[in-house]
Structure 1
Amino acid sequence: MNIDRIEFNSWMERLMERFNLLDEKVKEIKTPNFEIDGEQLLDNQDVLQLLKISSRSLQRYRTSGKLPYYTISGKLYYKLSDVRQFIRDSFNRNSKKN
């Protein structure tokens, strides 16, 4: 089977469009955005990856009150703004030590 370059490019463009649509659908399914008061909520896994810490460290930050959290249906969530503030506070503490 022989196809010319124009037809091949057309097929490839349609194929790439389909891949892009599938990619968007997978992202929608994979990362549902939970919000409270119009603010994005992160789950434990999101925060662990964002801060690059262990689950034990995250537990310490919760129990010490350094990182506020919310329990919804038995699952822990964190407001994105609280996590960002925690990062700022941690950065400021470390800057003052040096």
Structure 2
Amino acid sequence: MNIDHTEFIMWMDRIMKRFDILHERVKENNNELFSIDGDQLLDNQDVLQMLKISARSLQRYRSTQKLPYYTISGKLYYKLSDVHQLIRESLTSPRKNHK
């Protein structure tokens, strides 16, 4: 089967337009899956990198209820606004003096 250059370009253009449509749909679905009430959800790795803390510290924030979390399909997520609130609280709370 032979196709000329013009027909090939036309087919490739149609394929690329379909890929663009699919890409937009995937982006929309990802945004829906990783946000709640318009607030972005972060997983453990995102929060660890953002706060530059250890996994144990993050676990401590959860267990002391300093950082609310959500379990979705067995995976932990945090609202970005809750992480920002934790940061604000840690900046305004007095530090303990260690001698």
> What TM-score results when the alignment is normalised by the length of structure 1?
0.63
Equivalences for 1:1-98 in 2 at 5 Å?
32-33=30-31, 34-93=34-93, 96-97=94-95
What count of residue pairs does the alignment treat as equivalent?
68
Q: How far did residue 38 of structure 1 move? A: 1.1
List runs of 5+ in structure 1 lacking aligned partners: 1-24
For residues 61 and 95 of structure 2, the distance between their equivalents in structure 1, rounded to whole angstroms, comes to 19
For residues 73 and 57 of structure 2, the distance between their equivalents in structure 1, rounded to whole angstroms, comes to 23
AA paired with 1:57?
S
Q: How far did residue 78 of structure 1 move? A: 0.2
For residues 82 and 68 of structure 2, the distance between their equivalents in structure 1, rounded to whole angstroms, comes to 7
For residues 66 and 38 of structure 1, the distance between their equivalents in structure 2, rounded to whole angstroms, comes to 22
